[in-house]
Structure 1
Amino acid sequence: MKRFKLQFLISTAALSLSAAGCKDLLNEQPRSTYDPSFFKTEKGVQGGLTAMYAHLRDTYGQAYYYNATLTGTDEVTYGRDADENFLAMDLSGRTQLTANNSRADALWGSAFPNINTANGVIENASAVGTISAALVAEARFFRAFDYFMLVQTFGGVPLDLGAGELKFNNNPVRTSTRNTVPEVYTKAIFPDLLQAVNDLPVNPRVTGGVTKTVARLYLAKAYLTYAWWLENPNNIPTYPAAQRTDPAGRTAQYYYQQAYDVATAGINSPGQYRLQSTYYDVNVATNDRNPEIMLYADHTESSELYNGGSLTFGSGGAPDNFAGWMLTWNYTNIRSNGQFSTGPAAFSSVLREAVQPLGRPWTRMAPTIGAITNTFADKTNDSRFDGTFTTTYRGNWNKGDGAKPTAATNANNLSVSPGDAILTFLGSEPSTAITYPSGPGASNIGAGTLPGRADYVISPLGISRIVYPGLWKLGPYRTDNGTGLGQPNAGSTRPFNIAKFSELYFVAAEAAVKGAAPASGQSARELINVIRARAGKWRFDNNNNVAKSQDNSAAMVAATPNTIDINYILAERSREYFGEGYRWFDLVRTQKWNELAGTYQIGGTNYGDHTPVTVTRTIQPYHYLRPIPQLQLDRMDVDASVKAAYQNPSYQ
């Protein structure tokens, strides 16, 4: 509880910016505990920094915020069991996105208390005398990190939490004034990240700690995003209203060049970070916290205290890591036929299990058909489809409790054993037509058959809101499963990855496409080909569950267009980071959201729905900003007209 008390006390920077439940915690603690002098001690600074790392779990892995970063993009739509939180984000007419149902509120509620914690450390740490510039730089990084996430999501946000711009505040206030986008970048984000690059160490102070290279990645991303904002190619409105000009008179082209230079500096002086040899190695759970992962919201199965949540059940709320549940359909409804001691019967042959291909089903989100067929068109040379999705569901009924069949039959009345494929999502449309049942069928989920195959099959055009490939890369992993199913109902004890070294290549390549002068050997195509060459290298065929030593890097490089454009960069980013929470930010930054995600295809909500339906989204220019959360407005003690002006336009 100590961390939470610290975080809540500092959230009194503005009562309207604090989290729900703050009142009870504040009543339990004497106000003197929250004096700025707390940050004038080594214990206070260390406690503040610990809270900054811990606060990442309140946003990353929080499934409703995760939904806000993906649902409504060309990657993801809502699943069969979606509630209003997911339907609203899809912008496809099921319900209107409002200040009440936008789950970007999870970011607002966690970022501002952390910003004030950082304010307290930065403002007061020098009084300690033994606090290094590197420690203060960690606070600067996190303050810039939160402001960068906020400004991308909401537009201009307040720099003054009640005691002055970027000042620590310990008195509740019921008013708030938003700064403009240029002010947030030039007064907070850029200065903090520049100082962080200068003062942070090359190697982390603690495992998972921020470094010079991490700060370079976020500085490069901030320069790139601000350059797009200045350019504004599709005339997207901003709020609070501001001229698309830089206070120092610098142009978008200047910032594109800065983004390129900083990103390539990170590539050329990486410190401890490096690309993994295969894409599989980046995301396989047995290799978590590998040198490609630069920032993550950490979890552990060794301690509930340090995990931040139960090890045996999932709360469905932060700080649990339960994002991976959302793109997991209810595979436990797959039925095979078994011979029991009491006679033949249908049974669930794929049980819920705490392993990376499976996990806890929620069916709240589903991949679009286009993501399967277009984004991941090359499934032969490129390993990233195999390293992203679970497409083969294998029998594991032998691990369950209770009666177990002595024999099992599956598709075409062929025999299957534990470990065999029970259901397969095909990578492409087969030359022989799949025989689909006129309803759920023998598999109980409406899957089809192909001659001679014991596994049921579904083609890419046959996926729906209820049955679709799962997201393997975010699946759970436990070392304490033993010979059983483990704890599949608990939140994932894996870290939720936030930043990867590979993104430096994408940022530099995008800046080069936008006109930054490249260095020799680091053109946009050359940078992207580093990533594509790696994607062509296989060491394991995930869905066939066999070792695979194959190098298709030459074919991958040869297939790269001679001229790279923004749409190609975005397609490569989706192949690399599908389902990790990047996509909404990518489409908003480049103003490609409506172009690339305005329509999508998906099957229906019933088992046996295999006819793609084209859905049109209504993505208006004002949607490029999320609404200010209603909770923020409710806590402001100001006139209704002031609240209306505080809200982003068209959400009033």
Structure 2
Amino acid sequence: MKQMRLQKIWGILLVSAVLAGCSRILDEQPRSTFTPEYFKTEKGVRGGITALYANLRWVYGQAYYYNACLTGTDEATWAQSADGNFKDMDMSGAGNITPTSFPTSIVWDNTFASINTASGIIENANSVGLSAALIAEAQFFRAFDYFLLVQTYGGVPLDLGSGELRFNINPVRVSTRNTVPEVYTKAIFPDLKAAVDQLPDAGRVKGGATKTLARLYLAKAYLTYGWWLQNPGNIPTYPEATRTDPNGHDAQWYFQQAYDMAAFAIDNPGPFALQPTYYDVHLGSNDRNSEMLLYADHTETSELYNGSSLTYGSGGAPDNFAVWMMTWNYTNIRSSSSASSWAAVSSVQRAATQDLGRPWTRMAPPIDVFTKTFADKVNDSRYDGTFVTTYRGNWDKAGISGPLYNANFMQVNPGEAILTFLNNEPATAIDYSNSVYKSNVGAGVLPGRADFVISPEGISRLRHPGLWKLGTYRTDNGGGLGQPNAASTRPFNIAEFSELYFVAAEAAVKGAAVKPGKSARELINVIRARAGKWRFDNNGNKEKIADNSAAMTAATPATIDIDYILAERSREYFGEGYRWYDLVRTQKWTALSATYRIGGVNATDHTPATVTRNIQPFHYLRPIPQGQIDRMQLSDAEKKAYQNPGYQ
């Protein structure tokens, strides 16, 4: 078989061994390189395991990968300050995805080194006396990376230079891609099964791989492969392969396996459980909670273990800077120091708090997110637990004293609402003229309200609710604005216990035989019942004790279909990076994302435009990065054949 030179794989393994971390994750000495000889020692192999966790930060929390997961779907489009990295992904003609589009290269460029590290651990583990449980961590990560690759690009190489799934120490410049069925049946399924068998119920360290995590990914892999075999939308694959399973199973068999694995994991959770309210899932002070199965970790206590500066964000990996992208420039909001004439003052200062943080204005949620996806904002707490809809004054933390005056020249004090995104269109027309009260961001005025307002129809590429769920959380602000220019020191969540309910429900909709109490509707209603429970109101910034579970479950359709599951997944995981993969797996990307509505890039833009996307079947795979193609010693015809069709 031909081999390939992959970025980050040379004669030695170049990997980051500094684990992200809150403390007790791993305690090996950080190391930047592994020589083949060092890798044959127990210390070297254990260092390789550390590197597998550290490598997560080069993908998860990396804003351009985050963009590739969301922009172009029904969850996000490009925003006012977007460059080509974001416009390319939108599929709307503002840009075009090509083999040189950076966001599509991130998975390829950051997984093969991790795969090779995992293979080195697996090969050397027995000779250094590594336990089966530690070997299983490497098997999990190798499968995890291959699963990400095959969903993104189709078939990928299993041989990195020394044979299929072997540890490679020699640089090579040729390659052959395996087919999708080969990647699943030779790499993903065997490694995940071994991980399920050998991993502990509770992680050996906080944030470590567990049986429940492996079961989730095995269930997801079964589910995704079942869809691939069935191929209801006739989406092409590459390298070309028949939609048959080498082991002789059909799609229905895999859907049943997905259901059974997910249902078993729900019933045997180990130390994991759903949080009592949706608010608790993403509350910064409650990070690394019982619902989180895997995360790319960061910390505010040490730059070494954070992996990046605690005072300034670089705008590149391994920083966790994803949430900046959907944070609009709220710092342009102005109030007045005078009660009779407009004397502009910056009333909402940039701050390192969960509702604010560093604005980049690169991505924006379309209007239908607020009018359709999150139509129920009364019973369902997930809208309030996802978005920042009220921007409150904090000028006092910047040393500005006294009250200010806002809409209608009404007095406002620190902590009070300066600008509010309304839940619905108001009965009274909003005055967006800004002729007297100049919000500076195109917000409007309603009679009797001190806060400026924007209705759902006024959401634009310039202004929109921010993402509270991923927002900055620091405990070292010292009563001031803190370090808002630093990347987030929060973990970036990758896998959540709640997804087991969605995987099982989706498999049930696809025809899996269900267990008592675990029909698709019953599984989804576990999630919806939790969504109906409130303990805090972000919009009102106050305690709210309410249980709307009965209303939420009663509103669930009697018959669940894939569209409803996808809508629920968006409500549950909006902005977390799941969406493109969900829509590609179910082949619903075109149907659900072909058009969207949003306002323009100027403060005066209050009339939504309808935008049409041009999503073609070949777009369901991302292009192989041009840099990879250029590095290989192949003929022009072979290089063309290596690239996914449509990008050649």
Structure 2: which 5+ runs fail to align? 17-32
In structure 1, distance between residues paired with 2:392 and 2:140: 44
In structure 1, distance between residues paired with 2:388 and 2:15: 43
Structure 2 length-normalised TM: 0.95
Query: Would you say the 8 A contact 2:408–2:437 is kept in 1?
Result: no
In structure 1, distance between residues paired with 2:486 and 2:102: 25
> For residue 287 of structure 1, what is the amino acid of its counterpart?
N
- Secondary structure of 1:160's counterpart equals coil
1:588 offset after TM fit, Å?
Answer: 0.2
Query: Would you say the 8 A contact 2:13–2:35 is kept in 1?
Result: no
1:344 offset after TM fit, Å?
Answer: 7.3
Partner of residue 577, structure 2: 581
Partner of residue 29, structure 1: none
Distance 1:92 1:19, change over 3 A: farther
Structure 1, residues 181-229: CA drift from partner, whole Å, max 9, x if none? Answer: 0000000000000000000000100100000000000000000000000
Partner of residue 26, structure 2: none
In structure 1, distance between residues paired with 2:411 and 2:302: 42
> For residue 51 of structure 1, what is the amino acid of its counterpart?
A
- Identify the range of structure 1 (470-479 vs 94-103) with the bigger mean alpha-carbon deviation: 94-103
Partner of residue 104, structure 1: 104
In structure 1, distance between residues paired with 2:436 and 2:636: 53
1:73 offset after TM fit, Å?
Answer: 0.2
- Secondary structure of 1:422's counterpart equals strand
1:523 offset after TM fit, Å?
Answer: 0.4
Distance 1:440 1:415, change over 3 A: closer
Distance 1:138 1:25, change over 3 A: closer
Partner of residue 273, structure 1: 272
Identical positions, percent: 69
* RMSD between aligned residues: 1.8
> For residue 513 of structure 2, what is the amino acid of its counterpart?
A
Task: Tell whether 2:374 aligns with 1:376.
Answer: yes
In structure 2, distance between residues paired with 1:368 and 1:172: 45
Query: Would you say the 8 A contact 2:34–2:44 is kept in 1?
Result: no
Match for residue 611 of structure 2 among 615, 619, 623: 615
Task: Tell whether 2:491 aligns with 1:495.
Answer: yes
Partner of residue 289, structure 1: 288
Structure 1 length-normalised TM: 0.94
Partner of residue 6, structure 1: none
Partner of residue 472, structure 2: 476
Counterparts of residues 199-598 of structure 1 (less than 5 Å): 199-339=198-338, 345-401=343-399, 404-437=400-433, 442-598=438-594
Task: Tell whether 2:30 aligns with 1:17.
Answer: no
> For residue 157 of structure 1, what is the amino acid of its counterpart?
V
In structure 2, distance between residues paired with 1:564 and 1:614: 29
Task: Tell whether 2:173 aligns with 1:174.
Answer: yes
- Secondary structure of 1:75's counterpart equals coil
> For residue 553 of structure 1, what is the amino acid of its counterpart?
S
Query: Would you say the 8 A contact 1:220–1:259 is kept in 2?
Result: yes
Partner of residue 156, structure 1: 155
1:24 offset after TM fit, Å?
Answer: 10
> For residue 416 of structure 1, what is the amino acid of its counterpart?
V
1:587 offset after TM fit, Å?
Answer: 0.3
Distance 1:463 1:502, change over 3 A: same
1:630 offset after TM fit, Å?
Answer: 1.0
In structure 2, distance between residues paired with 1:643 and 1:487: 47
- Secondary structure of 1:601's counterpart equals strand
1:42 offset after TM fit, Å?
Answer: 1.5
In structure 2, distance between residues paired with 1:440 and 1:620: 48
1:233 offset after TM fit, Å?
Answer: 0.2
Query: Would you say the 8 A contact 2:79–2:461 is kept in 1?
Result: yes
> For residue 16 of structure 1, what is the amino acid of its counterpart?
L
> For residue 532 of structure 1, what is the amino acid of its counterpart?
R
In structure 2, distance between residues paired with 1:553 and 1:406: 43
1:38 offset after TM fit, Å?
Answer: 2.9
Partner of residue 56, structure 1: 56
> For residue 8 of structure 2, what is the amino acid of its counterpart?
S
Structure 1, residues 532-561: CA drift from partner, whole Å, max 9, x if none? Answer: 000000000011100000000000000000
1:438 offset after TM fit, Å?
Answer: 6.4
In structure 2, distance between residues paired with 1:376 and 1:383: 10
> For residue 223 of structure 2, what is the amino acid of its counterpart?
L
Query: Would you say the 8 A contact 2:99–2:626 is kept in 1?
Result: yes
> For residue 258 of structure 1, what is the amino acid of its counterpart?
Q
> For residue 103 of structure 1, what is the amino acid of its counterpart?
P
> For residue 44 of structure 2, what is the amino acid of its counterpart?
G
Partner of residue 118, structure 2: 118
Structure 1, residues 315-362: CA drift from partner, whole Å, max 9, x if none? Answer: 00000000000000000000000159xx97211100000000000000
In structure 1, distance between residues paired with 2:470 and 2:77: 17
Moved over 4 A (4+): 22-26, 438-441
- Secondary structure of 2:103's counterpart equals coil
1:35 offset after TM fit, Å?
Answer: 4.9
- Secondary structure of 1:517's counterpart equals coil
In structure 1, distance between residues paired with 2:442 and 2:262: 48
- Secondary structure of 2:326's counterpart equals coil
Structure 1: which 5+ runs fail to align? 1-12, 27-32
- Secondary structure of 1:220's counterpart equals helix
In structure 1, distance between residues paired with 2:156 and 2:488: 32
Structure 1, residues 396-451: CA drift from partner, whole Å, max 9, x if none? Answer: 000014xx253310001100000000000001111111111168961011111111
Partner of residue 21, structure 2: none
> For residue 487 of structure 1, what is the amino acid of its counterpart?
Q
Query: Would you say the 8 A contact 1:436–1:446 is kept in 2?
Result: yes
Query: Would you say the 8 A contact 1:440–1:608 is kept in 2?
Result: no
Query: Would you say the 8 A contact 1:253–1:515 is kept in 2?
Result: yes
In structure 2, distance between residues paired with 1:159 and 1:429: 54
In structure 2, distance between residues paired with 1:447 and 1:259: 48
In structure 2, distance between residues paired with 1:368 and 1:255: 35
Partner of residue 94, structure 2: 94
Query: Would you say the 8 A contact 1:71–1:78 is kept in 2?
Result: yes
In structure 2, distance between residues paired with 1:630 and 1:428: 46
In structure 1, distance between residues paired with 2:154 and 2:228: 10
- Secondary structure of 2:337's counterpart equals strand
Partner of residue 7, structure 1: none
In structure 2, distance between residues paired with 1:38 and 1:230: 42
> For residue 484 of structure 1, what is the amino acid of its counterpart?
G
> For residue 482 of structure 1, what is the amino acid of its counterpart?
G
Distance 1:566 1:440, change over 3 A: farther
Query: Would you say the 8 A contact 2:338–2:404 is kept in 1?
Result: yes
> For residue 311 of structure 2, what is the amino acid of its counterpart?
T
In structure 1, distance between residues paired with 2:34 and 2:466: 46
- Secondary structure of 1:109's counterpart equals helix
- Identify the range of structure 1 (588-597 vs 639-648) with the bigger mean alpha-carbon deviation: 639-648
